[in-house]
Amino acid sequence: MLKPGPGCATPVAPQCGHMKLVIQIDDPRVEDVLELLSTHLGFSRGVTPVEYSFALDVDQLVEPNITFFSARRAGQLVGIAALKRLDQNHAELKSMHTREAERGRGVGRALVEHILAFARTAGYRRVSLETGATEDFMAARALYDRVGFEACVPFADYQPSAYNMFMTMSLEPPPVGASG
């Protein structure tokens, strides 16, 4: 997968607020990312039994089949997400988390839309995800539904459970002559 480098930052207009949101490929080992990742893992593992919690830790997020993204406003980390390559046509959205104070300000949607555009440009034709099935994950499921994900059967190595929900989206190829 692609790793940080020149030209990876993309300014995105936020839903509300006056400062631009910058989404870019990042290193999950950076101090502020580690802090937000710890919050994400604590939440995921706190509301879902461990055998049904599939949130990735920092060691998993640096594997070569993962592209990790951060969203920053005025240099402050406000959200994280990752894209995991499953095969040449299929990727998985992973580790989506928005800082609590930033929820409802378009960070999650901007991250998902940025990653879907990245996936499309990278040649993926499908992006899927696993999320929690409990009320704790209702806002996340609503976001995924709004951007076009649909419920699906478990994919990759996942098994059905009362704690997990699976969603997928087909991607159209980018227009001819478009660049990421």
Whole-number pLDDT of residue 3: 44
CATH code at position 101 = 3.40.630.30
Would you say residue 175 lies in a domain? no
Give the C-alpha separation, 40 to 47, whole Å: 11
SS3 48: coil
The residues, any chain, with a CB within 8 Å of residue 113's CB and separated by 6 or more, are: 147
- Domain of 116 in residue numbering reads as 10-125
Would you say residue 148 lies in a domain? no
Whole-number pLDDT of residue 159: 96
Would you say residue 23 lies in a domain? yes
Whole-number pLDDT of residue 18: 52
Domain count, the chain: 1
pTM, 2 dp: 0.86
Would you say residue 56 lies in a domain? yes
Would you say residue 65 lies in a domain? yes
Residue 137 DSSP code: G
| Cβ contact 35:101 at 8 Å | no
pLDDT tens digits, 111-170: 999 999 999 999 999 999 999 999 999 999 999 999 999 999 999 999 999 999 999 999
